[in-house]
Chain A
Amino acid sequence: MAMNLEAREALSTLILAITKTGDLYLDPGQVKQVKSICKKSDVNVRTAYDLLMIQLKRKHAQIRYSSTQLIAELFQRSHVFRELLVADYPIFLQLTVGIHQHPLPPPVVFADKTKKLAISLTNEWHAKYGPVYKQIALGYEFLRYHLKVDFTNLVPVTDEARSVEQRAQEELSRQIRQRKYEKAVVEIEEMSDDIQDNVRKMGACFDILVPKLDDEDALNAIFGAPTGSSIDKEQNTQDENEATEENRLDMDDNNIAEQEAAWQQYDPVGVRDNALGTNRYKLTISVNKDNPVDVQESEDNSEVFTTLRECYRLIVKKHWPKATEWMDVLMKADHESGEQRAEYDRLLKKAIDLKKSVTDAKRKSEDLGVNMDTMYGPYEQDSDEDDEELEEVEVTATRSDKNDAKSKGKQPVRNQKRVVTATSKNSVFSMHGQDILEDDPTYAGGTSVPSVRAVARPDTGKDKDVKLSTTAPEGEESREELLARAPLVPWDDDLAVWDKKDMAFNTSGLEYSHRFLGVGDGSNLVSQDTLDRMKMRTRIYNPELPKEIKACRFPMSNGRLCMRRDLVRCPYHGPVVPRDELGQIQLPPEEGGFVRPGDEELDDEQEAALIERAIAAAAPLSTSSSTSVRRPDSGKGKAKDTCTWEDIEDDVHLALGLEKIDVPRKRGQGVKKKKPTKPPSALVNLSKPIDSSRARLLRRVASKASKDSVTQDERIEKSSSSRDARLNRWQ
């Protein structure tokens, strides 16, 4: 009995835990524990059933859903459990489907889920146990006949039904695979000849265009002369090195000069510096990636290229996808051993070979510059004129576009560089014969005065790189560099102290403290914060106000455009974006359509980005605006905006360069600092009142403040009426 009590205890905690999580899926570990306890004895199964029914009767759909899932698990396993549940089957359906006018409790989502689950379970149990358990058959009939439940197309929920479904699915896919395999077999047999023909044809083209490596003469024709000479040269150098080393022992003072001269020419390996020769050389061959084979299309081989293109097109369009598909099908196909296996292996080998040859041919032709982009060679243009012209125009257009983009993106940078290098070299006096002096170690170079433009430009990394790359001596250059970097500022007091780390004051020793500079801390130095303050500079900002503020021009419901003028955003229609006469948003930014202070400083790109962002922000509005153009009445109320007066104020402040006003939030309105602790279970709290409009109204109406105001109003009214009455009495 004690044993039973223990099991009961464990079961009750487990079942409570499982059903109270409120999750969609049960924790498999806990379910397993329940099952292992129930497996031990039928008494435990009975206990579990009682506990589950108690949980199932709770007025919470999430608990019911979890309980139903667990019931499904146990029902499948235990005969005792089945007997028990079957005896109470009407009640089970009452609690899970809501028959007999027992509506399921909220939350609605889970109630629906529970209902669906129970219907599916009934369906599957009916299929399996219907003939044995009359109650299930009756329940099934009841649902079908009275509730008009459609039992077709139900998703299987129990493991068994699911596995049956899965098996059917697998069988289907296996059949499909088999069919595909058979089709592929036929296709391979049919098309392999075609492919091989095509590949052979392409191979012939390659043979014509590119010399073979094993062809000695052809190789020599291309590489022969230069390669041979370089090798010879290297040989020579090596020989010489050896010779010099031998000669070194009996070297005379006389021939040093000669030797020097000779070394000047012949010292690629630094024998002179290291007193060591080396016999290892690094040979780097760089291959031009764009055109590795370096075969140019000319009038002579244009015919070959044409053939090659045709073959290539065939390969890319037809053979390559086919070969890939075959490989796919063959790899996925299931193969039995025996004859079939041998056949399969043969086919697979064939497919692999075909794919390899196709891939090779494709790659080779791409190396030759034949690809889908260049389907027409330069010598093919005469072939068909009508198409050709169109093609030509398009090509040039794209090219010019590209050029434009390039000039936009890259060229300015390049120009800058050029300017900077030019100015950095530009000294005040260019000395006569400076290039000779450059070699002189005593010459420090001319003082260069950078042009104002160069100085005013803020320092960029690129500039620095450029400067570092110049060959002038180190110290001189750093000053020059600093000067080049230094900003040009008008004179002010701070310039007197801007580079001082500390400042002594009152060196007379008479007075310890200074009237204005404050009391020193004994070191006769100006204190650090005073110094910092001295380094500050007064700057008067005069904001440039926009000359013209554009109207919002949002299409309104009365057919007119919004005439409000705002800097950044309209309080009713959101960000101000350029719009056309109808009020439609114009995607490309119009000239001067978007006036904003400081626009002059902005680059084109920045501006474009800004406008884009504004358009993106207004995008949801634009859809409604377009509908409202067509049907003015329906657009009403759709253009809802969230921007408030504060936002507009912020915009204005931003434009004037003022600080943003941060209004300290009230305690009630602010974001709650303390996040409410998350409940451990996902159960929806049903005791919490639903936030309906009625509840909100009630809350507002029944709040103390509103009641107080009402009573106050009443009091005022009463007093005023009594006053009036008194007045009347006095009259």
Chain B
Amino acid sequence: MNSGRTRRIAHNKCTRLLYQVEIGLVRPSALPSHYLSKRLLDLTLDPSTTIQREHVSAVNTIDIEEAEGRYLLSGGGDGNIYIYDLDESQREERRVIKCMAGAEKTVSGHKGGISRVNWYPFDNGMFTSSSFDSTIKVWDTNAMEVACTFDLENKVYSHAISPKATHGLIATASSDPRIRLCDLKTGAFTHSLPGHRGTVLSVEWSPRHEYLLASGSTDTTVRLWDIRKSSSCLCSLDMHNTNSPPLSEANVAHTRTVNGLAFTPDGLHLISTGHDDKMRLWNLYTGQNTLTNYGTMIRNQFVYNLTPLISPMFAGSPSYVFYPSNDRSILMYDLVDGSLVRRLTGSFGRITALAWRPRTQEIYSAGNDHDILAWGPKNVDRDNELQAMADQDTWSDSD
């Protein structure tokens, strides 16, 4: 009765929105934005999807390609890389996604744990992987073979390929304080960006400016780079918003190691996280801390790169940032006002990486319990028997 009524109301709202879009009262993006935020708020562990466990150690990183939004790439501490087809057995009630291809420790493969995998942003025929064995490898997806290897001679913690740039440069974060840029076109290093004084744990390209690069390091600074300049470091972000010069030694983004960076999809803001259990939102136009307070729930002692995930942004609807905390839950914050919206619990391992699948508005998470989990919006219309049984109260009459 109750659920029926809510469903009817929802239905009414849907038709009204459609009508409003049709006659031009609201923007066309209002409809998807409305549904996206609704579905995000309903996010929970998807009981019907299981991703088969392949890794025999922690899964360190996952990535979903953007071209089709179909293939999931995972890299584990065991040095193996697997690819899953997320559309597999899509129509089945209970789907088990099996690994479709894998690069297990081969002669050409990685000798150490994988720290980061990235699809080539424009084509799923290629992906890159960085490893603690101090190499970055470029893979041919179809052959599952290494096409090119960059040896950095240092533990590589992360790497990034610009999602929009045509320069084809891979920025690397390694235990070497310099950020080295690998050129996919030549298979060689183009140049290095000196400035950090400690291990660089994270590096990200701006989705807005193709030459803008952000990096975070154990020296507690977050630096922005323009790779075209000879003195390439633009500024070091300052958490206190003082009027010190942009490259002042006193500028620190966090009080302790910075291990996560994420640009908002519009490229106007930057999220940084550090071991001081804080998450900071930076305005990239001014380079200032927005002083958004994300509360005290964050527990971050992860020693490797840990990138927060920011949901797609639509004008007029809130955007969310997902952050895997130490207590094995995913904290979901409102990006702008910093309020904790939800806590996604259920994982039995510490979540090490998150990936967003735009087509189905799902989140995939990798954990150090060797598992990859799917988080989807709770299916309201799912009306099967099991759910009905589970939803039932079974108080006996004698109670």
- Contacts from A to B (Cβ < 8 Å): 32, 35-36, 39, 76-80, 82, 86-90, 93, 99-100, 129, 131-135, 137-139, 141-142, 145-146
Contact A145 B395 (CB under 8 A): no
Instruction: Note all chain B residues with C-beta closer than 8 A to A77.
Output: 393-396, 399
Of the candidates A32, A99, A129, A133, which one forms a contact with B398 in the assembled complex, judged by CB atoms under 8 Å apart? A32
Given known contacts A82-B390, A135-B346, A35 and B395 CB-to-CB distance under 8 angstroms: yes
Contact B371 A138 (CB under 8 A): yes
- At the interface, yes or no: B66 with Cβ under 8 Å from chain A? no
Contact B392 A79 (CB under 8 A): yes
Q: How far is B386's CA from A79's CA once the two chains are assembled, in angstroms?
A: 13
Contact B395 A138 (CB under 8 A): no
Of residues 44 through 79 on chain B, the ones whose CB sits less than 8 Å from some CB of chain A are: 45-48, 50, 53
Instruction: Note all chain A residues with C-beta closer than 8 A to B394.
Output: 76-77
Contact A134 B46 (CB under 8 A): yes
Contact B47 A131 (CB under 8 A): yes
Contact A138 B346 (CB under 8 A): yes
**Which of B47, B370, B391 has its CB near the most chain A CB atoms (within 10 A)?**
B47
Q: How far is B6's CA from A587's CA once the two chains are assembled, in angstroms?
A: 91
10 pairs across A/B with beta carbons < 8 Å?
A79-B390, A87-B345, A100-B328, A131-B47, A132-B389, A137-B47, A138-B346, A138-B373, A141-B371, A145-B53
Chain A, Cβ-Cβ closest to B399 = A35
Instruction: Note all chain A residues with C-beta closer than 8 A to B94.
Output: 131
- At the interface, yes or no: B369 with Cβ under 8 Å from chain A? yes
Contact A134 B395 (CB under 8 A): no
Q: How far is B73's CA from A313's CA once the two chains are assembled, in angstroms?
A: 84
- At the interface, yes or no: B348 with Cβ under 8 Å from chain A? yes
Q: How far is B391's CA from A512's CA once the two chains are assembled, in angstroms?
A: 108
- At the interface, yes or no: B387 with Cβ under 8 Å from chain A? yes
- At the interface, yes or no: B272 with Cβ under 8 Å from chain A? no
Instruction: Note all chain A residues with C-beta closer than 8 A to B392.
Output: 79
Report the minimal beta-carbon distance from B326 to chain A, rounded to whole angstroms.
11
Instruction: Note all chain A residues with C-beta closer than 8 A to B369.
Output: 142, 146
Given known contacts A129-B390, A132-B386, A134-B47, A142 and B348 CB-to-CB distance under 8 angstroms: yes
Instruction: Note all chain B residues with C-beta closer than 8 A to A100.
Output: 328, 348
- At the interface, yes or no: B347 with Cβ under 8 Å from chain A? yes
Contact A88 B345 (CB under 8 A): yes
Chain A, Cβ-Cβ closest to B343 = A87
Given contacts A78-B393, A90-B347, A133-B390, 13 further A-B pairs with CB under 8 A are A77-B393, A82-B390, A87-B346, A89-B346, A90-B346, A93-B348, A100-B348, A134-B45, A134-B373, A135-B346, A138-B347, A138-B348, A142-B369
Q: Please classify the interface of chain B as helix (H, G, I), strand (E, B), loop, or mixed, using the class held by over half of its residues.
A: loop
Contact A39 B399 (CB under 8 A): yes
Report the minimal beta-carbon distance from B303 to chain A, rounded to whole angstroms.
17
Contact A32 B399 (CB under 8 A): yes
Report the minimal beta-carbon distance from A234 to chain B, rounded to whole angstroms.
75
Instruction: Note all chain B residues with C-beta closer than 8 A to A86.
Output: 346
Instruction: Note all chain A residues with C-beta closer than 8 A to B390.
Output: 79, 82, 129, 132-133
What 3 pairs across the A-B complex have the smallest Cβ distances?
A: A134-B45, A35-B399, A135-B346
- Contacts from B to A (Cβ < 8 Å): 45-48, 50, 53, 94, 328, 345-349, 369-371, 373, 386-387, 389-396, 398-399
Q: How far is B386's CA from A131's CA once the two chains are assembled, in angstroms?
A: 7
Instruction: Note all chain B residues with C-beta closer than 8 A to A129.
Output: 390
Instruction: Note all chain A residues with C-beta closer than 8 A to B398.
Output: 32
Contact B328 A132 (CB under 8 A): no
Q: How far is B395's CA from A79's CA once the two chains are assembled, in angstroms?
A: 10
Q: How far is B236's CA from A52's CA once the two chains are assembled, in angstroms?
A: 49
Chain B, Cβ-Cβ closest to A131 = B386
Instruction: Note all chain A residues with C-beta closer than 8 A to B347.
Output: 90, 138
Report the minimal beta-carbon distance from B320 to chain A, rounded to whole angstroms.
19
Q: How far is B390's CA from A261's CA once the two chains are assembled, in angstroms?
A: 109
Report the minimal beta-carbon distance from A138 to chain B, rounded to whole angstroms.
6
Contact B346 A78 (CB under 8 A): no
Report the minimal beta-carbon distance from B139 to chain A, rounded to whole angstroms.
28
Report the minimal beta-carbon distance from A409 to chain B, rounded to whole angstroms.
65
Contact B399 A135 (CB under 8 A): no
Instruction: Note all chain A residues with C-beta closer than 8 A to B345.
Output: 87-90, 135
Of the candidates B47, B349, B371, B399, which one forms a contact with A133 in the assembled complex, judged by CB atoms under 8 Å apart? B47
**Which of A76, A88, A129, A138 has its CB near the most chain B CB atoms (within 10 A)?**
A138
Instruction: Note all chain B residues with C-beta closer than 8 A to A134.
Output: 45-47, 346, 373
Instruction: Note all chain A residues with C-beta closer than 8 A to B391.
Output: 79
Contact B45 A132 (CB under 8 A): no
Chain A, Cβ-Cβ closest to B45 = A134
Of the candidates A32, A76, A93, A135, which one forms a contact with B45 in the assembled complex, judged by CB atoms under 8 Å apart? A135
Instruction: Note all chain A residues with C-beta closer than 8 A to B47.
Output: 131-134, 137
Of the candidates B348, B389, B395, which one forms a contact with A78 in the assembled complex, judged by CB atoms under 8 Å apart? B395
Q: How far is B347's CA from A569's CA once the two chains are assembled, in angstroms?
A: 70
Report the minimal beta-carbon distance from B238 to chain A, rounded to whole angstroms.
37
Q: How far is B347's CA from A100's CA once the two chains are assembled, in angstroms?
A: 12
Chain B, Cβ-Cβ closest to A35 = B399
Q: How far is B103's CA from A405's CA once the two chains are assembled, in angstroms?
A: 92
Instruction: Note all chain A residues with C-beta closer than 8 A to B395.
Output: 35, 39, 77-78
Instruction: Note all chain A residues with C-beta closer than 8 A to B349.
Output: 142
Q: How far is B347's CA from A87's CA once the two chains are assembled, in angstroms?
A: 10
Q: How far is B369's CA from A93's CA once the two chains are assembled, in angstroms?
A: 15
Chain A, Cβ-Cβ closest to B47 = A134
Contact A145 B370 (CB under 8 A): yes
Q: How far is B369's CA from A536's CA once the two chains are assembled, in angstroms?
A: 94
**Which of A35, A39, A79, A132 has its CB near the most chain B CB atoms (within 10 A)?**
A132
Instruction: Note all chain A residues with C-beta closer than 8 A to B346.
Output: 86-87, 89-90, 134-135, 138
Instruction: Note all chain B residues with C-beta closer than 8 A to A88.
Output: 345
Report the minimal beta-carbon distance from B18 to chain A, rounded to whole angstroms.
32
Q: How far is B389's CA from A88's CA once the two chains are assembled, in angstroms?
A: 21
Instruction: Note all chain B residues with C-beta closer than 8 A to A87.
Output: 345-346
Contact A79 B399 (CB under 8 A): no
Q: How far is B394's CA from A86's CA once the two chains are assembled, in angstroms?
A: 17
Q: How far is B53's CA from A626's CA once the two chains are assembled, in angstroms?
A: 61
Instruction: Note all chain B residues with C-beta closer than 8 A to A78.
Output: 393, 395
Report the minimal beta-carbon distance from A159 to chain B, rounded to whole angstroms.
10
Instruction: Note all chain B residues with C-beta closer than 8 A to A39.
Output: 395, 399
Chain A, Cβ-Cβ closest to B375 = A134
Q: How far is B328's CA from A79's CA once the two chains are assembled, in angstroms?
A: 24
Report the minimal beta-carbon distance from B77 to chain A, rounded to whole angstroms.
15
Chain B, Cβ-Cβ closest to A32 = B399
Q: How far is B369's CA from A77's CA once the two chains are assembled, in angstroms?
A: 31
Chain B, Cβ-Cβ closest to A31 = B399
Report the minimal beta-carbon distance from B347 to chain A, rounded to whole angstroms.
7
**Which of A88, A100, A131 has its CB near the most chain B CB atoms (within 10 A)?**
A131
Instruction: Note all chain A residues with C-beta closer than 8 A to B50.
Output: 137
Q: How far is B96's CA from A141's CA once the two chains are assembled, in angstroms?
A: 14
Q: How far is B369's CA from A100's CA once the two chains are assembled, in angstroms?
A: 10
Chain B, Cβ-Cβ closest to A142 = B348
Instruction: Note all chain A residues with C-beta closer than 8 A to B48.
Output: 131
Chain B, Cβ-Cβ closest to A45 = B393
Given known contacts A32-B398, A35-B399, A79 and B393 CB-to-CB distance under 8 angstroms: yes
Q: How far is B47's CA from A86's CA once the two chains are assembled, in angstroms?
A: 12
Q: How far is B348's CA from A78's CA once the two chains are assembled, in angstroms?
A: 24
Report the minimal beta-carbon distance from A515 to chain B, rounded to whole angstroms.
92
Report the minimal beta-carbon distance from B243 to chain A, rounded to whole angstroms.
46
Given known contacts A36-B399, A90-B328, A139 and B393 CB-to-CB distance under 8 angstroms: no
Instruction: Note all chain A residues with C-beta closer than 8 A to B396.
Output: 77
Instruction: Note all chain A residues with C-beta closer than 8 A to B393.
Output: 77-80
Q: How far is B94's CA from A77's CA once the two chains are assembled, in angstroms?
A: 26
Report the minimal beta-carbon distance from A134 to chain B, rounded to whole angstroms.
4
Report the minimal beta-carbon distance from A211 to chain B, rounded to whole angstroms.
70
Instruction: Note all chain B residues with C-beta closer than 8 A to A131.
Output: 47-48, 94, 386
Q: How far is B381's CA from A123's CA once the two chains are assembled, in angstroms?
A: 28
Chain B, Cβ-Cβ closest to A99 = B348
Instruction: Note all chain A residues with C-beta closer than 8 A to B386.
Output: 131-132
Instruction: Note all chain B residues with C-beta closer than 8 A to A146.
Output: 348, 369
Chain B, Cβ-Cβ closest to A139 = B348
Instruction: Note all chain B residues with C-beta closer than 8 A to A90.
Output: 328, 345-348
